[in-house]
Amino acid sequence: MGSSLALSDRAEHTAPDLTGLIADRSRAIDASGIRRIFALAATLDDPINLSIGQPDFPVPKIVRDAASDAIESGVNGYSPTQGHPALLKRICSWLKADLDWDAPAVGTPSDSAAATFVTTGTSGALHLAYMALLNPGDECIIGDPYFVSYPHLATMCGAKAVKVDTYPDFRLTAERVEPLLNEKTKFVLLNTPSNPAGVTLTADECVELRELCASRGVLLISDEIYDEFVFSDGLTDSCVNDPSIKRFPTPARGASASDSVLLIRGFGKTYGCTGWRLGYASGPRAVIDEMAKLQQYTFVCAPSPLQAGASACFDADMRPMVADYEQRRDMILQRLSGLTTIASPSGAFYAFIEVPGHLGMTGTQFAEKLIERKVLVIPGGAFSDRDTHFRVSFATDPVKLKAGLEIIAELMTRG
């Protein structure tokens, strides 16, 4: 009945100070500025929340039903690490149709130099890619502004994320990247359409960046989590082969691209199932094999019944919702363009908006002023070494979006 820590002693026990045990990699990373805003939102009564990057529409019924049917039929155990065969088959067929590349499921006997597997969200895929590619002291290249996790994933690996200044148009071009390439560079990470700016590269810009990386022996990683969330001005006629398929300029499209580009895509943003944590990675087999091996010892596998739901995503038509979001984008441009500078978002559901210089405020100060009016945005410093902008998410009710834009416009005008 005894114990090394007797129950009678617990009331007198003083918790030890364990802060000295914390690893340097953890100390080197700050909590996400986005999460701090989320926590603040929970304390406010009916705020106008323009901060969260989460679709406000329901998951399509065909997708919900597929996941529910899988749960009820007992698909609740582990799937193979590389993903459920049915979902992998759909993904590989989609990549063949969309990008015309041959990238079968990892572990499948094939002459192809590329492979594909299912990941625990696109964030999971990025984490695995960084771990598979970066040694301590290595470098990778990211644009500034960037998605919040990009530099910190490098820190976790003991590596360095070298930031490319992409202001004011937020385009990660070959011309901007080339001077930063060196013998330590392992990969260049492109996000198109981007978070936080919603900017997409042109077809020519994608090709130039891909060719630059290939010529220097550097991997190009293309984070295309918003690949289906592209507006009419983000498409190019040269990429449209089938009007039923939404196509946009992507580094993954082109001759032998599957040999030189690591493509990362997912389901959460397009289909409203962000909490399902489902994505996939496809590209050079040598890299995919290592990522899949690491997944065995980290995420194990993506949620099995939700993989069944994701298979049905390829049958859902999201074009009406994307068109609705394009109208919301237009609301922002029409209301604020005369008051400040905005690089027009051609995809995703964000606008990265400059704080007018005459206000003499940082992005953080402007966001704090908006909080006083119960409007929540993300300061630009959460995504950048600069704090001159703020991010608005228009994945929210249009009525609230309009009300929030009026308050933002008033603050820009009056300070």
* Domain at 25-52+318-414, CATH homologous superfamily: Aspartate Aminotransferase, domain 1 (3.90.1150.10)
3-class DSSP assignment, residue 163: strand
pLDDT at position 20: 87
Return mean pLDDT, the chain: 91
**What long-range pairs does 243-248 form, CB within 8 A, spacing at least 24?**
245/97, 245/98, 246/319, 246/322, 247/98, 248/193, 248/200, 248/347
pLDDT attached to residue 238:
41
> What is the share, in percent, of the chain residues with pLDDT greater than 90?
78
Predicted confidence at residue 14, as pLDDT, reads 78
Position 229, amino acid: F
Q: Which residues of 75-85 are buried (b: 16+ CB within 10 A; e: fewer)?
A: beeebbbbbbe
Give the model's pLDDT for residue 241: 41
The pLDDT value given to residue 22 = 85
* pLDDT for 109: 86
Query: Where are the domains positioned within the chain?
Result: 25-52+318-414, 63-315
In this prediction, residue 242 carries a pLDDT of 45
Complete DSSP assignment for 325-380? HHHHHHHHHHHHTTTS-B----BTTEEEEEPPGGG---HHHHHHHHHHTTEE-EEG
- Residue ranges for the chain with pLDDT beneath 50: 238-245
Cβ 233 vs Cβ 377: under 8 Å:
no
pLDDT, residue 243, reads 41
Give domain 63-315's CATH architecture. 3-Layer(aba) Sandwich (3.40)
What gap in Å lies between CA 180 and CA 162, rounded to an integer? Answer: 8
**pLDDT value of position 240:** 37
- The per-residue pLDDT for 270 is 93
Report how far apart, in Å, the C-alpha atoms of 88 and of each of 99, 118, 163, 170, 311 are. 16, 7, 34, 33, 8
Rounded (10°) angle between helices 319-336 and 398-414:
20
Amino acid (1-letter code) at residue 142: I
